[in-house]
Structure 1
Amino acid sequence: MTRNIVVGVLALQGAFYEHFKLLQRASPEVAIDQDGEWEFVEVRTAQELERCDALIIPGGETESANRTKKGGQELIGGLDVRVNRNYFGRQTESFEAELALSFLSTKDGTGDVKPFNGIFIRAPVVEKVLPVIRGEPSSERAIDETVIAPSPSPEGERREQFLGPVEVMATLPGRSRTLRERVGAMGLEDEAGDIIAVKQGNVFGTSFHPELTEDARIHIWWLQQVKGMT
């Protein structure tokens, strides 16, 4: 017997309503077997969260973060990466860029993926992909202005088998070269491109705001991932 799949959108911050609209547009493209249905709910309480099979966190703080205030907003954890907040500058320096997202598919099967319009608002980047290790990445503690998020469970070898390594899903080429002085000051390890989307196990995160476009392809892809894991 197939049950409905419940997807929650954390409705405490960010553009949660915009996520709802794109989820509703995306859901007809991802049918659930045996007449199951998608159910989308706003999440504000622990009881509402318990109902969910998957969760979207608009503007969520999910990783270890550099250049952030200690004692400020707590981090959720869930990805083995170090993030530099507001890497591209203040809100007045927000921008849009066409992104080549190879994980998106096309209906016609041609293999040509239409660029996705990425909207970056006070956007972070992934400075470093961290190894899957037991407990907190202690080497990160020595970095100034770095706050460590709690490690996802399970830990150690079981965690590595469960989550696997971090997959880099998208980069933004060229920005590092145009921000060479800033990149040098931050000590980034690779100027081949800025990491703007990652996936580890059942956790997916982006630097840009897919909900602020009319393009539902990322939400379609994400619902396909949710369907495959439930």
Structure 2
Amino acid sequence: MFGLQGDVREHLAVLTALGTHAVAVRRPEELGRCDGFVIPGGESTTMFKLARTFELFEPLQERIRGGMPTFGTCAGMIMLADRVVDGTADQETLGGLDVTVRRNAFGRQVDSFEGEVAFDGFDEPVPAVFIRAPWVEEAGAGVEVLARVEAGQAAGRIVAVREGHVMATAFHPEVGRDDRIHRYFVDLVTTA
């Protein structure tokens, strides 16, 4: 798990409760011991700068390209997108998902909201907390859409995707009591 900024504690708690050995990664040598990787919600431009400062950017890019299962939430979705709309002038991405993501698509902090989304393969909707969240503007042919917003002005917007070993949500599944999305990711890691 990207341990330099964001919802690190919350993700670690869910992953630990699922029986995994989850650790906060801050150095390239720690990354080398990971079978899967989570990039939490946080501030994407700060996360990029920290990844560069702590020399994690290129090693993480290489591991993702090499097939390491990776899951990004909110800012993590931005970091995994191949393309970003409304990013900063120096916005970089790790890549891994053939998607175009719009940064802060749902608005500012005051526009944050909670709801439920139907998640592909789950019998019941999942709780979804959107905090200055992105959405997927365009998804490539190889990208599986896992969830869309169903109501309101953003109805139809893509908020969860998977492409092979890389998945992302625009919302924060780590802040609730529902562990199904994390379990989905853990299953992805164990079958890789």
Assess same fold via TM > 0.5. Answer: yes
In the alignment, does 2:164 pair up with 1:201?
yes
1:22 aligned residue: 14
The amino acid that maps onto 2:161 is V
Where in structure 2 are the equivalents of 1:23-102 lying within 5 Å? 23-27=15-19, 38-59=20-41, 60=76, 61-63=79-81, 64-71=83-90, 73-102=91-120
- State the 1:170 CA deviation: 0.6
Counterpart Cα distance in 2 of 1:21 and 1:44: 18
Counterpart Cα distance in 1 of 2:105 and 2:120: 24
Runs of 4+, deviation exceeding 2 Å: none
TM, length-normalised to structure 1? 0.64
The amino acid that maps onto 2:6 is G
| Equivalenced residues, count | 155
- State the 1:79 CA deviation: 0.3
Q: CA RMSD in A?
A: 1.4
In structure 2, the gaps of 5 or more residues are 42-75
Where in structure 2 are the equivalents of 1:174-193 lying within 5 Å? 174-175=151-152, 178=153, 193=156
- State the 1:114 CA deviation: 2.6
Bigger Rg, structure 1 or 2: 1
The amino acid that maps onto 1:222 is F
In structure 1, the gaps of 5 or more residues are 1-8, 28-37, 105-112, 132-164, 180-191
Over the matched positions of the two proteins, sequence identity in percent amounts to 43
For residues 46-92 of structure 1, give each alpha carbon's deviation from its aligned partner in whole angstroms, at most 9, with x where no partner exists: 00001111100012222110011111x42111100000011110011
